Amino acid sequence: MSLPEFLLSLGATCRLTRFITKDTLAAGFRSWVADRFGDDSKPSYLVSCSWCTSVWVASAMAPLTHWAGGSTALQVTTMALSLSYLAGLASQWLD
């Protein structure tokens, strides 16, 4: 895995983790998990804990990047996710 592939997969991991644990668009998913397993369950904790979720997202992202890192589709997807994450960080500082 090259350095650019690593950095793009890092940014994608950050963005996907943020999406699952914090974004309004995934609130329905988090509510479904809480309704299905209970508010104090481990699955509910998993989908609301950034540290916990990032381990699983990274566990999927690392082999995907290793095997398909040179593909245009993966590069475009990880770049879009990375730029989205960086734009979110910038907007927090600029607001």
pLDDT along the chain (95 residues), means of 10: 93 98 97 96 96 97 90 95 96 85
In a domain, 95, yes or no: no
Determine the structural domain holding residue 85 and report its residue range.
3-89
**49: left (phi > 0), else alpha (psi -120 to 50), else beta?**
beta
In a domain, 69, yes or no: yes
How many structural domains are present in the chain? 1
In a domain, 56, yes or no: yes
The answer to pTM > 0.75 is: yes
In a domain, 94, yes or no: no
**What single DSSP character describes residue 2?**
-
In a domain, 42, yes or no: yes
